[in-house]
Structure 1
Amino acid sequence: MKKENGLYWLIISTIVFFVDIASKFWILNKFNLYESINVLPFFSITYVQNIGAAFSIFEGQRWMLAAVALLISGAIVYMLYRNKRQQKLENFSLSLILGGALGNLFDRLYHGFVVDFLDVNFGCWHYPTFNIADCAICIGIGLFILSSYKKPQKTE
């Protein structure tokens, strides 16, 4: 009998990956570097290139960042394989993280940089520009932390 594991949830990773890549290619085709369109008073679509990781840390470390993304992706696939399919919140969170990590990995390998375009600011405060993959990773991490609190406690 086939084991019902968490690999079923890779469909979420696939969706996140393709939506992320499609949005980035749309930006690349429609915007010049640093071009910006205000959508709301606090939100703009602004095309920037990130050659580092979150908040541009590890700038210029393309291959190290790619290796880390591959290791994390492998660990997530293994965790999904070990999980039961019914562990919905944990599997969903891992799938979001995986889809986002693979989206940014694709950018690093294909373009040599990550395409960022979601730009949020309030008055003088400006959040670093990000993308759909970054959203998926952050939401996934938050949900993963939440899922760790929802696990049943083992009794001795």
Structure 2
Amino acid sequence: MLKQNKNGLHYLYLSLIAFIADLATKYLIVTNFQLYESINILPIFNLTYARNTGAAFSFLADHSGWQKYFFIGLALIISAILIYFLQKNTALQKLQNSAYALIIGGALGNMVDRMYHGFVVDFFDFYWQDWHYPVFNVADIAICVGAGLLVLDALKNGDKKKSEKK
């Protein structure tokens, strides 16, 4: 059982897992696929090597390159803030700590890609008939799961916090 006085920093192991899984899968794609090469896995899913110079859903991808540095800085700032929150949290805040750690791992994984390649490697391609969801990667999954855990934590613990204030 976790001690109440321990902080949430030990959840950073989740950041490391997300970070390594992200970079390892991107390495496999880059070394085994040509750009835009696609392998059909399921009737609704392909592995497709794509590059994203922007952010989520290619936001700001069509700009002159300044966005690379913006997103690198943003990843560093967000990660630093979330590490601070982990340090302030108790170890018992499992959902929130897990969420922060996953977001950190995902943000740093995509940041390393931007620094090394100048773009983010994406490869999960889900589709239905002619409609394709934007291609994404393991870092994006970690960030989205982290965001979902924050929502779940707010729903689960929101009433507790309100009753504690009364």
Same fold (TM over 0.5): yes
How much does 1:47 deviate? 0.2
2:70 is the counterpart of 1:64: yes
Q: State the Cα deviation string for residues 16-61 of structure 1 (Å, max 9, x = none).
A: 0001000000101000000000000100000011000001112231
Q: Supply the distance in 2 between the matched residues of 1:155 and 1:116 (Cα, whole angstroms).
A: 44
Distance 1:22 1:146 in 2: 29
The residue type equivalent to 1:57 in the other structure is: F
Tell me what 1:50 maps to. Answer: 52
Give the paired residue count.
154
Partner of 2:127: 121
CA distance in 1, matches of 2:8, 2:156: 17
1:155 alignment counterpart: 165
Match runs of 1:4-153 below 5 Å = 4-59=6-61, 60=65, 61-151=67-157, 152-153=160-161
Long gaps (5+) in structure 2: none
Residue aligned with 1:4, SS: coil
- For the aligned residues, what is the CA RMSD? 0.9
Deviation of 1:155 (Å)? 3.4
How big is the shift at 1:140?
A: 0.7
Paired amino acid for 1:150? K
1:145, distance to aligned residue in structure 2 (A): 1.1
How high is the TM-score relative to the length of structure 1?
0.96
Q: Runs of 5+ in structure 1 lacking a partner?
A: none
Three-state SS of the structure 2 residue aligned to 1:148 is helix
Rounded Cα–Cα distance in structure 2 between residues aligned with 1:74 and 1:99: 12
Query: CA offset at residue 149 of structure 1?
Result: 2.0
Quote the Cα distance in structure 2 between the aligned partners of 1:80 and 1:147.
15
- CA positional deviation for 1:86: 1.1
Poorly superposed stretches of 4+, deviation over 3 Å: none
